[in-house]
Amino acid sequence: MANETWCGHKSIQALKSFCSPDLEFLTIKCQPHYLPREFSSIIITDVYIPPQADTSMALNKLYLTLCKLESIHPEAAFIVAGDFNKANLKTRLPKLYQHIDCATRAGKTLDHCYSNFRDAYKALPRPPFGKADHDSILLIPAYRQKLKQEAPALRSVQRWSDQSDSTLQDCFHHVDWDMFRIASDNNLDEYADSVSEFIRTCVEDVVPIATIRTFPNQKPWIDGSIHVKLKVRTTAFNQGKVTGNMTE
């Protein structure tokens, strides 16, 4: 059961479920009210593998399910947690990280929590719930957003416009291209190099250069126009919260 203050029930979707004598699991996709930009959603799988289970069969089934979900949701954060008993999911998916490093029953770590991010949680042991024979575990988020892991970078980009396109077209229209061929004495490599260098020089002279700042969590397709739309959306959302009108 997801906490409504973290993720409303309308933003939770059941993706997969399975039940057999060797394995039980339920997978849901959550899109919380707040999510770091590097994640499209959070996919959580709750697992139970009985002590007498065929762990090889159980892990193979989990492996196939998780691989398929990863191919469908490549930008999602994955969390796989539950009572694994003798099974170890890292034998099938070594790229996952196990975050519970303390004993959960009789000196053994039978309950695991895996994710696809290193150091995502810090595990603290807590008393069992009711008459349960397993200790409960408090997982404290330790993940740092990409935005906080790396400093913004400055890079230079060319600011293309209709005017620069028109200027370059006019420039190239009046060029005597044969002079490059004659100067290269029909050597194809020299001809290609001289023409390419001339075009590059023209572009540098005509198209202005701007320095922009990019953030580590920024998608490659986000440009200035999308930033403007995101700012408008955020402003409208904040105004709606103040006025109580979230429909317009």
Q: Which range, 140-149, 195-204, 207-216, is most confident?
A: 195-204
Distance, in Å, from the CA atom of 71 to the CA atom of 78, rounded to the nearest integer, reads 12
pLDDT tens readout for residues 180-197: 888 888 889 999 999 999
Q: Parse the chain into domains and list their residue ranges.
A: 9-144, 153-222, 223-248
Q: Quote the CA–CA distance of 76 and 40 in Å, as a whole number.
A: 5
Predicted pLDDT of residue 169:
92
pLDDT of residue 232: 86
Q: Which CATH number fits domain 9-144: 1.20.1740.10, 3.40.50.620, 3.60.10.10, 3.40.50.1360?
A: 3.60.10.10
Predicted confidence at residue 65, as pLDDT, reads 96
Model confidence band, residue 247 (pLDDT cutoffs 50, 70, 90)? low
Confidence of residue 146 (pLDDT cuts 50, 70, 90): low
